[in-house]
Chains A and B, each alone.
Chain A
């Protein structure tokens, strides 16, 4: 059994990354760079904890550690659950794996192992810096560092274990709503509106004007109490935190080991009867009644043909659409919460400029982070791209159709965010809101073109055709990095524009963003004309 799980795991890992080749120089360089990043992160976290402790006077103790563990691991659980639902139940490689001579639960555990390895690697960049930072700042002893070695391995088991357990009812729920598109959309809308309402309620609890400096002591005490309260409900993470700070070390260690074993056992016992059934129903399709009244819109041009296809597919894949633009949906939340806090403070004119700069950075980060659909626009055509290759007309217009679709959708979402923002925070200058909107639209449209260009030059058509997934897609990470770069670049420009130039600040920002958009448009068009015909499946 263990041998088969090992073979299955290694097979999936080597399929996902070419780095797992023993002795390859690339591996050593990769490890060296990652190690350097971990060291750098550790230094940064240590500095941050130093600032927290000695400058902001927030206690750096076991409660803070438990609180950070709850937050980071909680986020990990959410991310892993989403990933596992896709990997365990919807992945295309299931068809291959289930045809192999392996038991269902062995396949289940091999997939869990793959997620564990990814989670372990990701955790190295989070846990080591945090743990070592705490150790340095709190001057903890050797036992602490020895415990860390075990924890680095055990913590991902907990988060993956919880995620895989949750993924079963979650997948079942998704299978149900997948068959009810309207219900799915209504539910999503209710969740979004509910969250927005909840956020508004929560944020309005903050007394205004917010005077952090004057009420700093009260602020620190409240924060400390809140952290302590949350830490009490951290269950296993509370146990880990206390163990690391040497409270009932052995007892807590036993609880930790027991929890890990329990999670493995419960996953094994539940997955054995459930996994295969859930996986197979996730891949089933039912024939629905024909909609005889439905008459497709006639296309008058090739561009309209492509656009019509995009809208039809999007209309029938609301869940994918929502997950593609999930980050964009959070834009109104972020804008409202942050600006409520900013507006609640007594600000100088300099403070107002800082607020604008922060808005530029945050809106761009979120908006450009949602352009992953553009970075996989050609890739997700998969094998169907063959159709465009054999068509006797300039099919590069499909690119413009896809861009138009992404542009219309994101622009509507951004406009909605700004509209909600202006309604929820009437105190924020209206002119700034709409100038910021225009600026974000320019930069975001440029980024859509940039992301599309990335995919145009290196589409992963066969990868997508064989897996049906864009997980680990290099173009997505490149699109995200360019978005990050743009957010910081325009953030830096905003500092110059709003702090130093002032009166022509908006003119400079709009001019820069328009130049950026024009440049990206020109570049994209040139690349499209030159390279579209060269794309090969």
Chain B
């Protein structure tokens, strides 16, 4: 009879597949059948009168009986192990088949088709053995048999339809790189739905209770973390649909693993935090219910972690109860974290946390009430909110029993430990907030890590770009050999941070050797920004800056070696003496000792700083510090000397001395580029000037030309400020 049904199912599947032409219709039919299969499975799960663990527990009728008690065996050991593996394969294939139509994963389709068809056929062939495992009889017309027949028929039907599809689309032989991925899916899926009696049936007792940090307990603690990392790293490069498929599969696996054992009595109702979690997680994943998901994320993960760290069992590691406990808490711990890590659910914001607290509050109030009610009929202790398990553990039993409210209604006694239950609630909320901060810290770490990876890749890319641009030349050679004795700024733009506004926009300028180039502009015009980008203190948003042919962006060290910089502020260590400071800067520029001392003496003499050079900088005046910075910037005799407002706050003598040094430096064929507000100074010592207004270059002028045309720089500057780019027309 069962074989007849099997052939009929296969025949119908072929018929429907080849008669239905439209793919869309096939998709819809598949979805309907998948949902139907899950409903039929659920119906059997909750209506069968036997203890459902026997569905899978085929080796021993009574799990507690020693393995070598042959009188309790249903089948020979070989047949028992075969049926056990068949049930295992059925469970894994069934979940593939149920999930596939909603995610369209080619791998799931392939595995569901192959494994589903084979296990479906084997289930029909060994139908009697399954019935014996259910209820120890082979009556084909019993309620249970018919249920199971429908389930198996539906399962085989979908598997055959999928098989036809892959045959028709010539997907029967996977591509080379698909083999490994499918093997991993098989291993992962099989582990996810492993029969909880498997290890005990195969190996008997392990010999250790995984409690109090024994080696097996340490393994149990480490395993979820290891599993999460493995799943995350294996799947992080997959597309989002594949990631969602994994999370959905795990949610279904958690559900089936939880109901591996029939939970009928009041005390076994799924109202413990992690038991509720596996139910809510399935609903959350299937129907995208954020409230349920984040409740699991903030409340259950904590509870599961506590359960893994402090388990309350005393059986051997391989026993059914320990494996059940382990799987339940493993899923309650792992699924929420993985679902966020793999972006199936978005990273929580505070709003999600509040929703989680709301759901937890409803859950907690329900549990407190149900504990008070059900304890009239049985001993229940959902979420440990009724017994003295926790108060005894922490030695505060008085708090529970000294603050209690008790009343009777309709002959039922309701007992509330108000202080303990309120404190328990508040502490858990506090723990949820703590977990929020832990998650937040972990997210930050993860973000930091991804940014680092991206940055490292960018650095590598920049280096490759540089090598390409150099076209076989050494990185120490200038990118633009033609620009050897000049500063060349091309279309330079700079934005600060996340600002939308450009501090400097599309700025282009060339400064040649021997020139003293003045850079004029109002406060906030962009002078310092431009200078800081030339010397490499600030990054460049757009464009290119070359110093002596070297790009400051891609050859910063080579470019900086050729720059001397006097900042608009004193970059000096006040706890050093002047000499120590100069030596420090000279070391930074690798200036040999002899040259360094000679240059220092000459410059200090010129700037009248010799007397103070061995005093602590802390005691220097503003002008002395400025002179020290000037000496430091010239200690390596740079071909490009850049000064940002160098004469501000200087006395006339110091100002004169610095101007003289600028002239001398330019006379040697070097570039002197400096910014200033003081038009008279610029007019007096510069050969050329550039004017910048509100981040844009408004003109470049030759001082001699201006003099010839009898144009005052002050008038020109004021005109430029008022008229913008039309200043050039003025000339």
Contact = CB atoms under 8 A, between A and B. Distances in A.
A363 B576 CA distance: 35
A336 B2 CA distance: 81
B588 A387 contact: yes
Interface centre among B448, B537, B569 (most CB of A within 10 A): B537
Contacts of B213: 496, 499-501
Interface centre among B426, B456, B560, B584 (most CB of A within 10 A): B584
A154 interface: no
B491 interface: no
B557 interface: yes
Interface in A352-402: 383-395
A316 interface: yes
Given A54-B398, A536-B539, A313 B571 contact: no
Contacts of B559: 392
A285 B618 contact: yes
A384 B628 CA distance: 13
B668 to A, nearest CB: 20
Contacts of A501: 213
B614 A40 contact: no
Contact of A40 (B430, B565, B570, B583): B430
Contact of B583 (A294, A296, A531): A296
A390 B563 contact: yes
Given A305-B588, A536-B537, A526 B452 contact: yes
Contacts of A292: 614
Contacts of B570: 383
Nearest to A500: B213
B572 interface: yes
B573 interface: yes
Nearest to B583: A296
B365 interface: no
Contacts of A54: 398
Interface in A119-148: none
B421 to A, nearest CB: 14
Interface string B118-140: 00000000000000000000000
Contact of A287 (B350, B571, B589, B615): B615
A398 to B, nearest CB: 9
A291 interface: yes
B538 A312 contact: no
B556 interface: yes
Contacts of A313: 573, 575-576
B588 A383 contact: no
Nearest to B350: A29
A56 B584 CA distance: 62
Given A302-B587, A387-B585, A393-B557, A530 B455 contact: yes
A288 B396 CA distance: 67
Contact of B557 (A39, A51, A388, A392): A392
Nearest to A496: B213
A43 B430 CA distance: 11
A287 B584 contact: no
A510 B252 CA distance: 42
Nearest to B309: A492
Contacts of A3: none
A393 B537 contact: no
B535 A305 contact: no
Given A43-B426, A393-B557, A383 B448 contact: no
Given A313-B576, A391-B588, A465-B569, A286 B538 contact: no
Contact of A496 (B218, B556, B583): B218
B619 A531 contact: no
Nearest to B221: A496
A537 B539 CA distance: 11
Interface string A491-533: 0000010011100000000000000000000000011011101
Interface centre among B399, B430, B584, B587 (most CB of A within 10 A): B587
Interface centre among A29, A317, A395, A537 (most CB of B within 10 A): A537
Contacts of B561: 392
Nearest to A284: B619
Contacts of A393: 557, 588, 590
Contacts of B590: 393
Interface residues of B, number: 56
Contact of A312 (B459, B536, B575): B575
B455 A285 contact: no
Q: Size band of the A side of the interface?
A: 35 or more
B429 to A, nearest CB: 8
B414 interface: no
A290 B590 CA distance: 27
A530 B452 contact: yes
A390 B537 contact: yes
A245 B576 CA distance: 59
B579 interface: yes
A294 B452 CA distance: 45
B212 interface: yes
Contacts of B177: none
Interface in B416-454: 423, 426-427, 430, 433, 448, 452
A386 B565 CA distance: 10
Interface centre among B538, B570, B576 (most CB of A within 10 A): B576
A299 interface: yes
A195 B557 CA distance: 52
B150 to A, nearest CB: 51
Contacts of A500: 212-214
Contacts of B679: none
B567 interface: yes
A387 B571 contact: yes
B433 A36 contact: yes
Nearest to A51: B396
Given A386-B537, A392-B589, A536-B538, A312 B580 contact: yes
A501 B569 CA distance: 60
A457 interface: yes
Given A292-B614, A389-B536, A457-B448, A533 B569 contact: no
A51 B399 CA distance: 10
A534 to B, nearest CB: 7
Interface string A307-334: 0010011001100000000000000000
Nearest to A304: B587
A533 B537 CA distance: 9
Contacts of A290: 614-615
Interface string B448-471: 100010011001000000000000
Contacts of B560: 390-392
Given A29-B350, A54-B398, A288 B557 contact: no
Interface of A: 29, 33, 36, 39-40, 43, 47, 50-51, 54, 285-288, 290-292, 294, 296, 298-299, 302, 305, 309, 312-313, 316-317, 383-395, 457, 465, 496, 499-501, 526-527, 529-531, 533-534, 536-537
Interface of B: 212-214, 218, 350, 396, 398-399, 423, 426-427, 430, 433, 448, 452, 455-456, 459, 532, 535-539, 556-561, 563, 565, 567, 569-573, 575-576, 579-580, 583-585, 587-590, 593, 612, 614-616, 618-619
28 contacts: A29-B350, A47-B396, A47-B399, A285-B619, A288-B615, A288-B616, A288-B619, A290-B614, A292-B614, A299-B583, A302-B587, A305-B584, A305-B588, A383-B567, A383-B571, A384-B573, A386-B567, A389-B536, A390-B535, A391-B589, A393-B590, A395-B588, A457-B448, A496-B213, A526-B456, A530-B455, A531-B452, A536-B538
Q: A-B pairs with the 8 shortest C-beta distances?
A: A500-B213, A392-B561, A392-B560, A305-B587, A391-B588, A386-B571, A290-B614, A389-B537
Given A36-B433, A305-B587, A537-B537, 16 more contacts: A29-B350, A54-B398, A285-B618, A288-B616, A290-B614, A309-B573, A309-B576, A387-B588, A390-B536, A390-B560, A390-B565, A391-B589, A394-B557, A457-B448, A530-B459, A536-B537
